[in-house]
Amino acid sequence: MSATTSRRSLLTLALSAPLVGTVLAACGDSGPAGGSSAGATIWILTGQPGEGIRTDSVNAFNEANPDSELVLSSYQNDAFKAKIRTAIGANQSPTVIWTWGGGGLRDYVKNGQVEDLTSFFAENAELKDKLFASAFGAATVDDKIYAVPCENVSPIVMFYNMRLFEKVGAQLPKTWDDVMALVPTFNAAGIAPFSLGGQSRWTNMMWLEFLYDRIGGSELFTSIYEGTPDAWSHPDSIDALTKVQDLVRANGFINGFASITADSNADQALLYTDKAAMMLHGAWTYGAMKTDGGDFVTGGHLAWSTFPEVTGGKGDPSDSVGNPSSYYALSSQASDEAKTAAKKYFAEGLITDATTKAWVESGSVPIINGSDSLFTGSEDAEWLQFVYDTASQAKVFQQSWDQALSPTQAEALLDNISKLFGLAITPEEFAANMNATLAG
């Protein structure tokens, strides 16, 4: 995985490059759903390795199914986000909609813009059984499945620079109390305890996601997701918000973190250049650190773990947060012929031995039960197995909040998180501001 196309950048960061819009798999324009003379249409995101794997998948399907051909177009992240909503609203949607699931998918469902795929999975039970059960949460609305989980899984992970731990003679933290005790130890040695690309805002969010889970259990965010009045003011919520500010006030993050961006991979560089001892970040950063960090990864200087427990907390230590999967939805606006072609692709072409192998070779863990059998012999086998176990064994795999919530709530959340980490608002003010979005 290249340093400039991290998994998170494909999923949530706005990219400034213009629309690509290149038809890759067949001639013709994508046009309205099912309206192209070439058949069903599919739009995907650019950026390697994902773009190449997606393209190869569609090309292989088209070669094997000339009567069910999909026309493939690719778009940069930011352009895709704008174009897909405009297209869907104008009844010009592609047949197959690449989506993050969660709040965005719920909007599509609410507006009758995507097909209910529950019966599709009943008819293709073998396909469903192949996939991590944890991947279906963000694809499900009101107990019905509206998208096909696919591609790979990216939990949020606690990364450690073992060179620096050895330098100060410290052990890896197992609890939140251990984390707070390490802060003065590293600061005294002139080392930032944690790297953080705070300008990107969603990086700050990862801390709250885990603290909410470890303190209040998965039910705490579920109450927020379901719009329970004053859910953000729950005592466990205030406790989590307070703990984050305790870490900020203790100089737990590198100086100037609010000006550091994640899309430039500057936060990762702080870890592997020995400027910071720890980093909470997505699994997608492993490949970039391996590529850019010299012998940091290959030399055994990188360690990792799940997020530490909070003493007395209600959360299950196996719970994880992050990106459970990518998703493909089916446009309700498509013709019957196009829908049939798309469903054939979902059943036969989207998840194959070839795509599973390609994701593993890219340093990612596909959401396929048993795909860990392909890790043998890989120099990244230990890492891949950790990610596989984290995702497949998690009792709850909470989707990143900025994708789980509606777009309006997500923007309010990111804005208030930035203020919280900047100590510009109190935990109580944060809670009040976010409670106001529950009624919206």
**pLDDT value, residue 412:** 96
Class of the domain covering 7-151+325-374: alpha beta
CA atoms within 13 A on the CB side of 315: 33
Torsion of CA 184, 186, 187, 189, to 10 degrees: 120
1 token code pair? 């995985």
pLDDT per position as a tens digit, 397-410: 899 998 899 888 99
13 pLDDT more than 50:
no
- Looking at per-residue pLDDT, the higher value among 331 and 37 belongs to 331
Cα 286 from Cα 380, distance rounded (Å): 10
Tokens standing for residue 108: 């599509």
Q: How confident is the model at residue 244 (pLDDT cuts 50, 70, 90)?
A: very high
How high is the pLDDT of residue 11? 36
Instruction: Find the helix packing angle between 218-225 and 202-216, rounded to 10°.
Output: 120
Q: Hey, what amino acid is at 194?
A: F
Q: Average pLDDT of 348-354?
A: 96
CB 331 within 8 A of CB 114: yes
Facing residues of 276 across strands? 192
- The Cα 29–Cα 260 span in angstroms is 40
Whole-number average pLDDT of the chain: 89
Cα–Cα distance for residue pair 213/396, rounded to 1 Å? 10
> Identity (one letter) of the amino acid at 55?
T
- Please compute the mean of the pLDDT values over residues 101-107 and round it to a whole number: 90
Distance (Å, whole) CA 409 – CA 437: 6
Nearest-angstrom CA–CA distance, 183 and 252 = 6
Enter the pTM of the model. Answer: 0.81
**Residue 37 has what pLDDT?**
38
Domain boundaries, the chain: 7-151+325-374, 155-321+400-438
**7-151+325-374 and 155-321+400-438 have identical folds:** yes
Give the chain as a 3 state SS string. Answer: CCCCCCHHHHHCCCCCCCCCCEECCCCCCCCCCCCECCEEEEEEECCCCHHHHHHHHHHHHHHHCHHHCEEEEEECHHHHHHHHHHHHHCCCCCCEEEECCHHHHHHHHHCCCECCCHHHHHHCHHHHHHECHHHHHHHEECCEECCEEECEEEEEEEEEEHHHHHHHCCCCCCEHHHHHHHHHHHHHCCCEEEECCHHHCHHHHHHHHHHHHHHHCHHHHHHHHCCCCCHHHCHHHHHHHHHHHHHHHCCCECCCHHHCCCCCCHHHHHHHCCCEEEEEEECCHHHHHHHHCCCCCCCCCEEEECCCECCCCCCCCCCEEEECCEEEEEECCCCHHHHHHHHHHHHHCCCCHHHHHHHHHCCCEECECCHHHHCCCCCCHHHHHHHHHHHHHCCCEEECHHHHCCHHHHHHHHHHHHHHHCCCCCHHHHHHHHHHHHCC
How big is the chain by its Cα radius of gyration, in Å? Answer: 22
Going by pLDDT thresholds of 50, 70 and 90, the confidence category of residue 15 is: very low
For the record, the structure tokens of 241 come out as 């918000």
Output the CA–CA distances (angstroms, integers) from residue 2 to 12, 21, 155, 282, in the order listed. Answer: 17, 22, 18, 15
Over residues 145-156, the pLDDT tens digits come to 999 999 999 999
Please name the fold of domain 155-321+400-438: D-Maltodextrin-Binding Protein; domain 2 (3.40.190)
User: Which two tokens mark 131?
Assistant: 């996939």
pLDDT bracket for residue 80 (50, 70, 90): confident
Q: What is the pLDDT of residue 14?
A: 31
What single-letter amino acid sits at 292? Answer: D
Query: What tokens does 261 get?
Result: 């961006």
User: Any idea how long the chain is?
Assistant: 440
Hey, is 405 helix, strand or coil? coil
pLDDT of residue 362: 84
Residue 439 — pLDDT band, cuts 50, 70, 90?
A: low
Q: Are strands 365-366 and 152-161 parallel, antiparallel or unpaired?
A: antiparallel
